[in-house]
Amino acid sequence: MREFSLATLFPLRFDTQFKDEEGRPLRGQYEIGAEMDTKANWRSVGIVGEGQPVRVGGLNPWNHEWIASGRPNLELPHPSYPNQLHRMSVYSISDGKKTVTFAAGEFSMNVWGFYVRKELKGDHSNG
């Protein structure tokens, strides 16, 4: 029988280094296909209270199931205070016609920030 330690069950610590398949540290980046994705590749599309409408690639994420990407979290700058970095998770949503990948996280209690990759086109306005 395999033994598990707390470090095995809960490996994430503040100093955790995510690594690619060859063991290189990712440090706030993750691999998408053959390219590396960093905070420079993301842009803010809105800050809203939980449940308030926001358009992410033309879809309101609150109306769709969020599918976690399984990729390491990103540290992205607050749009109004770029020196403040916030941990964002990467998700995808689909309306059956299109799928949109986005990053989201809570800036403070019930206040959410949403980001898309810079090349994503479409309506990103609130509402």
**Surface-to-core class of residue 14, CB atoms within 10 Å of its CB (0-12 exposed, 13-18 middle, 19+ buried):** exposed
Contact 68, 89 (CB under 8 A): yes
- Helix or strand or coil: residue 111? strand
Contact 100, 116 (CB under 8 A): yes
Beta strands in 11-124 (DSSP E): 30-32, 35-37, 42-49, 67-68, 74-77, 85-94, 99-108, 111-117
Q: Rg of the chain over CA atoms, in angstroms?
A: 16
Per-residue pLDDT of the chain in tens (127 residues, 90 and over written 9): 545 444 444 443 333 444 555 555 554 444 444 344 566 789 999 999 999 999 999 999 999 999 999 888 999 999 999 899 999 999 999 999 999 999 999 999 999 999 999 875 544 444 4
Tell me which residue of 37, 58, 62, 42 sits closest to 112, measured CA to CA.
62
Joined tokens for residue 22 = 């060859």
